[in-house]
């Protein structure tokens, strides 16, 4: 964070300072909301939530060396305090103030799927020549976004900020803090539907990202969406670029190919520029992610060389279609980070393109609302279309998918051990020169990494595990 005084902070968040006589002149350069991490010299913000109240840990924060506290009521500690009405709101206002002070060119990204990959791609492109701040991990909500903005320093020329949401209004709030120059809406599909009521509700909520754009800002969206006409009708005069596999898009891909390991290459058509790109990422859906990142980079004036080098440098993120060769015969694809209907279909499309024997292991897809069973059945239908050999499911909701696939090789399991035993049996039944590809996927709540870890432990490796990058 930039070096700022408590007086500066108090003015930005409308706080009352209490404490030592020299409190207003105390300078901080670090903010924390977590007493489990080092607080030496930090500004501690005591947040409240549905299931927690960090005001209970103010004494602990002071004992751990916090230089000052933002809180909603005075605490009996010998540390300067900034008293505010709502500490959560104060966190947001402070993040917005630091962002305004540093003033980096900013891109905000949202979407049901792929926003983290687009963020990584764009950050890689921009970092070829510039200092870039990008969202880390899942810091994409009303707490994570301002904490990300608070990491800005004077050296940062660009910020790439991921905006997630599980209810209406959340993106409107975080985009108001972020104030992006470019806003990307990557796609809309059935994800977090519970919090929005319907997929139409998801689509409406995602468009909140455009409210933070300035008059000369740019909106970037996929051309492959039934909601595109609605988005464009509500563009509020903003400039608009589209991307996709259709040459009617402003930025589009042609000659898309997947190699034997599923990694994508394509011809990038970026306005007047045309070039070839080879990704180290699996699946056609990552071509779309690359197009979104390229469109944003072009708007920011990045050279074609940096776009090529940045895209081709991106490595797979753990748990997002990460491929491991467990033996000469067994390929394992770990896609356990999360799951939605669209991302699960994309994973099936990828799996269906491999040669040999193909097993899809699916855990529950969460937060899909009252139509959850139908969405899981839809996955079973899609698995049939992809002509894979087995669809194995684990959990409660996912059973609907394997029931649809049942006549061809669908099966539901009640435990990880039973599931892994069935996979191992399938492997032993294949001819030694027939490669078996196992793709494991599920929502975060399904904890499908348990299956990945069990397979890694039980399959004898003839060589050290090869974490594949194309």
**72-86 tens-digit pLDDT:** 999 999 999 999 999
Fold assignment, 322-468: 3.90.190
Domain with CATH 3.40.1190.10 in the chain: 103-313
Answer yes or no: is pLDDT of 35 > 80: yes
| DSSP at 152 | -
* Surface-to-core class of residue 7, CB atoms within 10 Å of its CB (0-12 exposed, 13-18 middle, 19+ buried): middle
| Residue 126 in this model has a pLDDT that exceeds 80 | yes
For residue 272, give Cα distances in angstroms to 296, 298, 302, 334: 15, 11, 14, 38
Three-state secondary-structure class, residue 450 = helix
What's the pLDDT at 470?
61
Which pLDDT score is estimated for 466? Answer: 53
- pLDDT confidence bin for 468, thresholds 50/70/90: low
Burial of 25 (0-12, 13-18, 19+ CB in 10 A): exposed
Give me the pLDDT at residue 469, please.
Answer: 57
Contact (Cβ atoms closer than 8 angstroms) between residue 408 and residue 378: no
pLDDT at 197: 84
pLDDT band with cut points at 50, 70 and 90 for residue 8: very high
The per-residue pLDDT for 233 is 81
Sheet hosting strand 68-71, strand order edge to edge: 16-18, 81-83, 68-71, 43-45, 31-32
pLDDT tens-digit profile of 132-172? 999 999 999 999 999 999 999 999 999 999 999 989 999 99
Q: Write the class of the CATH domain 103-313.
A: alpha beta
pLDDT in tens, 347-375: 999 999 999 999 999 999 998 999 999 99
> Tell me: the pLDDT tens digits for 187-238?
998 766 777 889 899 999 999 999 999 999 999 999 999 999 988 887 778 8
Confidence of residue 460 (pLDDT cuts 50, 70, 90): low
Closest C-alpha to 296, from 235, 220, 217: 220
pLDDT band with cut points at 50, 70 and 90 for residue 462: very low
Going by CATH, does the domain composed of 4-86 fall within 3.40.1390.10? Answer: yes
Q: Cα-atom radius of gyration of the chain, to the nearest Å?
A: 24
Bridging pattern class, strands 16-18 and 27-28: unpaired
d(CA 6, CA 88): 17
User: What residues does CATH 3.90.190.20 cover in the chain?
Assistant: 322-468
Nearest to 195, CA basis, from 141, 115, 136, 235? 141
- Report residue 463's pLDDT band, with 50, 70 and 90 as the boundaries: very low
> Sorting pLDDT into bands at 50, 70 and 90, what band is 121?
very high
pLDDT digits (tens, 9 = 90+) for 389-407: 999 999 999 999 999 998 7
- Range list for CATH 3.40.1390.10 in the chain: 4-86
**What does the pLDDT read at residue 237?**
80
d(CA 72, CA 70): 7
């Amino acid at each position: 964070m930039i070096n700022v005084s408590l007086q500066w902070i108090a003015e930005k968040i409308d706080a009352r300072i209490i404490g030592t006589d020299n409190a207003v002149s105390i300078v901080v350069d670090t903010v924390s909301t977590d007493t489990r991490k080092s607080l030496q010299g930090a500004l501690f913000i005591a947040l409240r939530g549905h299931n927690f109240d960090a005001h209970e840990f103010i004494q602990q924060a002071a004992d751990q060396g916090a230089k000052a506290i933002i809180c909603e009521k005075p605490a009996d500690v010998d540390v300067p305090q900034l008293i505010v009405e709502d500490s959560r709101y104060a966190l947001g206002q402070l993040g917005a103030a630091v962002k305004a002070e540093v003033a980096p060119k900013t891109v905000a990204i949202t979407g049901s799927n792929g926003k983290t990959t687009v963020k990584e791609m764009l950050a890689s492109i921009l970092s070829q020549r510039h200092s870039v701040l990008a969202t880390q991990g899942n810091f994409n909500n009303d707490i994570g976004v301002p904490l990300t903005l608070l990491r800005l320093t004077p050296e940062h020329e660009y910020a790439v900020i991921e905006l997630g949401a599980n209810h209406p209004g959340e993106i409107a709030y975080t985009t108001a803090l972020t104030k992006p120059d470019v806003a990307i809406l990557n796609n809309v599909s059935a994800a977090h539907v519970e919090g929005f009521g319907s997929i139409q509700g998801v689509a409406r909520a995602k468009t909140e990202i455009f409210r933070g754009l300035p008059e000369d800002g740019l909106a970037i969206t996929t051309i492959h969406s039934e909601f595109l006409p609605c988005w464009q009708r509500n563009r509020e005069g903003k400039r608009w670029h589209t991307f996709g596999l259709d040459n009617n898009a402003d930025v589009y891909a042609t000659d898309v190919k997947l190699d034997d390991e599923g990694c994508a290459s394509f011809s990038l058509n970026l306005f007047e520029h045309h070039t070839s790109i080879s990704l180290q990422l699996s699946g056609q859906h990552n071509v779309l992610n690359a197009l979104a990142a390229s469109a944003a980079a072009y708007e920011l004036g990045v050279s074609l060389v940096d776009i090529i080098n940045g895209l081709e440098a991106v490595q797979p993120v753990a748990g997002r279609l990460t491929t491991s060769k467990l033996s000469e015969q067994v390929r394992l694809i770990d896609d356990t980070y999360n799951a939605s209907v669209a991302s699960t279909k994309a994973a099936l499309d990828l799996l269906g393109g491999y040669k040999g024997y193909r097993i899809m292991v699916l855990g529950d897809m969460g937060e899909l609302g009252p139509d959850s069973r139908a969405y899981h059945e839809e996955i079973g239908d899609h698995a049939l279309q992809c002509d894979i050999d087995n669809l194995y499911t684990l959990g409660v909701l996912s059973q609907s998918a394997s029931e649809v696939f049942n006549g061809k090789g669908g099966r539901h399991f009640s435990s990880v051990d039973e599931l892994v035993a069935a996979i191992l049996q399938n492997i032993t039944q294949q001819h030694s020169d027939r490669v078996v590809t196992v793709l494991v996927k599920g929502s975060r709540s399904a904890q499908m990494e348990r299956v990945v870890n069990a397979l890694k432990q039980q399959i004898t490796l003839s060589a050290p595990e090869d974490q594949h990058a194309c």
